[in-house]
Amino acid sequence: MAEIVQNTNLGTRRKLDLLLQEMDTICREIISQLYNSSSSSTNTNLNTQTLIDMFIERQNYLSQQIQIVRQQQELERQLQIKRDEILKCDRALRCLQTYLLQAVQVLSSAVYQAREKLSNIRRAKTFPSETIIRYAHQLASCYSTVAPDNWQQGDIRRPYPTNIDMRRGLLGRISEQISQQQQQLSIQNSTINTATVVDMAVPQNTSSSYTAVTTAVRPPKHDTTSFASDIFSSINEETNHTNFSSSDTDSDDDL
Amino acid sequence: MSDDLIQTIINDDRQRFLLDLEFVQTLANPQYLNFLAQRNYFKNPAFINYLKYLLYFKEDNYIKYVRYPQALYFLDLLQREQFRQELVNATYCRYIEDQQLLAWQRLQRRKNQLLNNATGLAASSSTTNNNNNNEAETPNTQNSTNAISTSTTTNNTQLR
């Protein structure tokens, strides 16, 4: 029995089972011998004494094993606590891993865009910052690239020059004068075709490209040409002034 | 009278430049492009040569006078025959105009978002305030740098 108890390969449960079985058989043997004690005398006494010694020995082993069981229960409790802690840490690690992956994605896209920006900067021509800011201010002031904050549907402002702006300019002035001239000629002599007047005007231009330019603007639909041309000429002077004011100031810059 | 005016304009370099500048900026107007296409101006080889000549506005010295940089994008497109043929179609020009307006408004929304982010983060801490002010400034300077160097690529990203 000692070998069984000291055998480390057997589990505690198995050892307890074996001990209890042996104790059970010994008890039965003792009881049967006591029951049959009347038939034989000395043999049975020795055997009974041996059996009782054996029973006591196994009872001691049993108590030892129960001590061992208590120790092992304590160890199992500790193990369970550790397993729970491991689970918690595992969950935390998974959360951190997802955060890390998100951060990696965000950073990789940010790094890529930063690299693109840097390559743009390297490729770009450098200008003094004052020039850039002045140009940006010019673009922003006429809302050519970014809409005004209070723009709604039905607002006539546009990111390109509108009809009104075009009529105010040099092209509009030229076309107004042409149409005035045509009206005067048609009033003077109603038989002359307006097309021939335009055709006669063509060869006097030094470059044929300007023919297309001067007749490209639509003739105005209103009749108050004299009143309008005064306004347009005054506004044209303003646009001339604003168009060339930047050149006057820019010529002072060291570009 | 108008001939004298035209002669004075042609002889005066400043007036000629002003005329070119005005015309090249009007090319940003898709309705005007439709007008030109419908009156067969794009079939005139002299006019096409003039459009090619107007490409000088993309150089550094001249681009700073252009107030409507989208015009240069359209000028590039106008060098292509297929685009000139498509411009006769009024629905196509309306589509271009719609896309222009939508891009125009989209940039305004993005600008407001950037400004809101900058002001929102400014309330949190001073260091992040400085960083975000730098971030809010650099896109503007970047955009204007791109506008001066390659305004067409800026317009490409705008109109896409």
Measure in Å the smallest separation between the Cα of A95 and chain B Cα atoms. Answer: 26
Say how many domains are in chain B.
1
Q: Centre a 10 Å sphere on the Cβ of residue A196 and count the other Cβ atoms it contains.
A: 10
Nearest CA in chain A to B39: A216
| Full DSSP string of B19-37 | HHHHHHHHTT-HHHHHHHH
Is B39 within the bounds of a domain? yes
Average pLDDT for A196-212: 40
Name the one residue in this structure whose structure tokens are 């001066």. Answer: B148
Confidence of residue A156 (pLDDT cuts 50, 70, 90): confident
- Higher-confidence residue of A234 and B54: namely B54
Is B102 within the bounds of a domain? yes
pLDDT above 90 covers a percentage of chain A that reads 33
CA distance A203 to A205: 5
pLDDT of residue A86: 98
Measure in Å the smallest separation between the Cα of B52 and chain A Cα atoms. Answer: 12
Containing structural domain, residue B79: 1-120
Nearest CA in chain A to B36: A216
CATH code for position B58: 1.10.10.1340
Confidence of residue A153 (pLDDT cuts 50, 70, 90): confident
| Full DSSP string of A173-222 | HHHHHHHHHHHHHHHH-TTS-HHHHHHHHGGGSSSTHHHHHHTTSPPPS-
Is B156 within the bounds of a domain? no
pLDDT of residue A79: 97
Q: Model confidence over A206-221: pLDDT tens digits?
A: 333 333 333 344 444 4
List alpha helices for A36-169, DSSP H.
Answer: 42-123, 129-141, 163-168
Confidence of residue A235 (pLDDT cuts 50, 70, 90): very low
Would the pLDDT of A230 be above 50? no
Q: For residue A76, give the amino acid letter.
A: E
pTM of the complete model beyond 0.80: no
Chain B, residues 53-72, CB within 8 A of chain A, namely: 53, 60-61, 64-65, 67-71
CB spacing of A135 vs B9 below 8 angstroms: no
By Cβ distance, the residue of B7, B23, B69 closest to A171 is B23
State whether ipTM is beyond 0.90. Answer: no
Taking contacts as CB-CB distances below 8 angstroms, the residues of chain A near B61 are: 255
Is B108 within the bounds of a domain? yes
Would the pLDDT of B18 be above 50? yes
Confidence of residue B11 (pLDDT cuts 50, 70, 90): confident
pLDDT of residue A165: 87
List alpha helices for chain B, DSSP H.
Answer: 2-11, 13-26, 30-38, 45-53, 60-63, 70-78, 81-86, 90-122, 126-149, 151-159
Is B137 within the bounds of a domain? no
Would the pLDDT of A7 be above 60? yes
List all residues 6 or more positions away from B148 whose beta carbon is below 8 Å from its beta carbon: A125, A127, A131, A132, A135, B60, B63, B64
